[in-house]
Structure 1
Amino acid sequence: MQILRTTSENNDFQDLVKNLDAYLAEMDGDDHAFYDQYNKIDLLKNCIVVFENEKPVGCGAIKPINENTMEVKRMFTLPEFRGKGLAVSVLKELEIWTKELGYEKTVLETGKKQIEAVALYKKCNYTIIPNYGQYAGIENSVCFEKIL
Structure 2
Amino acid sequence: MSFEHKRVDPTHADFVALVTELNASLVSVTNDSGESSFSAEEFDIQSDGCVVVYAEQIPVACGVFRRQIEGVCEIKRMYSKRSGAGSYLLSTLEAYATVKGYRKAVLSTRRVNVKAVEFYQRNSYVESEPYGKYVGVDRSICMSKTLQ
User: What TM-score comes out, normalization by structure 2 length?
Assistant: 0.89
- CA–CA distance in structure 2, aligned partners of residues 27 and 116 of structure 1: 10
SS in 2 for 1:76: strand
Q: Distance in 1 between matches of 2:39 and 2:111?
A: 21
- Counterpart of 2:65 (choices 48, 62, 74) is 62
Alpha-carbon distance in structure 1 between the residues aligned to 2:66 and 2:39: 11
Instruction: Give the one of 75, 80, 86 matched to 1:77.
Output: 80
Count of matched residue pairs: 141
1:8-28 per-position Cα deviation (integer Å, ceiling 9, x unaligned): 021100110011111112222
* RMSD of equivalent CA atoms: 1.4
- Cα pair 2:30 2:113 within 8 Å, conserved: no
- 2:126 partner amino acid: T
Stretch of structure 1 that moved more, 11-20 or 40-49: 40-49
1-side partners of 2:38 and 2:99: how far apart? Answer: 24
Query: Structure 1 stretches of 5 or more lacking a match?
Result: none
CA–CA separation in structure 1 for the residues paired with 2:5 and 2:21: 19
Q: TM-score, normalised by structure 1?
A: 0.89
In the TM superposition, what is the alpha-carbon distance from 1:40 to its structure 2 partner?
2.4
* CA distance, structure 2, for counterparts of residue 54 and residue 37 of structure 1: 30
Structure 1 distance, partners of 2:41, 2:30, is 22
